[in-house]
Amino acid sequence: GSLASAEEAITMLGEANAAERTVSENAEAYRPIHREVRDIEQAMRTVEEEKEELAVQLRRVSGDNAEARKAAISEKIEALDNHMQTLLASIPAEWESADAEFSKLRDAENKARASYRKSADGSYEPIAKITAALDATDDLQALEPALLDLKRQIEESEPADMLVPIAELSSQFGDIEGASKIKSAVSKARSALKSKKPKKDKAIDSVDKAIKEYNKELEWRLQARDSLNEGLKNYQAVVGGTLGIRQQEKLTRQQALYVARCSAEHRDISLNF
């Protein structure tokens, strides 16, 4: 699956770059009308703010000559309404279609970028999880005695006395990559003992399930660690700095300097608003 995602990511990167070029090629034709309409809309917002201020003044008018002053304010509001209609009518007739078309191109680019990132992540993340699981094989084996002894402890101990030890063991399995099913089964054993009416038999059943999951996990890890781990790590190293770069905990110095240089360059994002 990771290899398939890697091939797909390379294709999607080409499509994303092509979509970016299309947006860039159409941006210059779109920019004048975009700027014109945004200026008109800014003027309309200014008119709206002036109307709101006058409306407040109108409500507060009182005292001498109140009616005359109200009439004067109402006249200003009417003039602003007329100006608003003039501004609205000045928006080019082709604006909606031009904006919709450019938005479609921009959405296509964003979709292509998202598809590329999904495929790129998919080319690296599963392999990283597998190698992390294989590297934790010794840690998994170290918990075997505690897991196998858990049934005896449950049978011989008071349920309340087992809550903390089981919680600790569950947490230890939780720290091991790929051992979530074992952790879940151990946690269910604790839940059975924590209920108002503790059920030891149910807790022991959950431990049996945990042991079954443990044996399955250990079996494949022991086989794969010797036969696959080296090859998987070689693949991981190859794609880690390219397709898998978003999954890294930190950038190398070279990568960080490259990103800093790119981020320092001016980018015109005005057409996005």
For residue 273, the model assigns a pLDDT of: 83
Q: Tell me the one-letter amino acid at 103.
A: S
Higher-confidence residue: 273 or 236?
Answer: 236
How is residue 80 written in tokens? 């602003």
For residue 41, the model assigns a pLDDT of: 97
Helices (H), ranges, 61-136: 66-89, 95-135
How is residue 215 written in tokens? 């044996």
Q: What does each C-alpha distance from 137 to 66, 141, 142, 203, 232 come to in angstroms?
A: 87, 6, 9, 26, 15
Q: Tell me the one-letter amino acid at 18.
A: A
| Per-residue pLDDT tens digits for 32-41 | 999 999 999 9
pTM, two decimals, is: 0.72
| Per-residue pLDDT tens digits for 103-154 | 999 999 999 999 999 999 999 999 999 999 999 999 999 999 999 999 999 9
Q: Tell me the one-letter amino acid at 1.
A: G
| Residue listed under structure tokens 């092509």 | 18
Q: 259 near 251, Cβ under 8 Å?
A: yes
Angle 224-230-235 from CA coordinates, rounded to 5°? 110
CA atoms within 13 A on the CB side of 16: 17
Q: 119 near 242, Cβ under 8 Å?
A: no
Mean pLDDT of all residues belonging to the chain: 94
Q: How far apart are CA 81 and CA 74, in angstroms?
A: 10
* Percent above pLDDT 90 for the chain: 87
| Per-residue pLDDT tens digits for 164-209 | 999 999 999 999 999 999 999 999 999 999 988 999 999 999 999 9
| Per-residue pLDDT tens digits for 114-124 | 999 999 999 99
How is residue 132 written in tokens? 């992390």
Q: 270 near 104, Cβ under 8 Å?
A: no
Among 228, 173, 177, residue whose Cα is nearest residue 206: 173
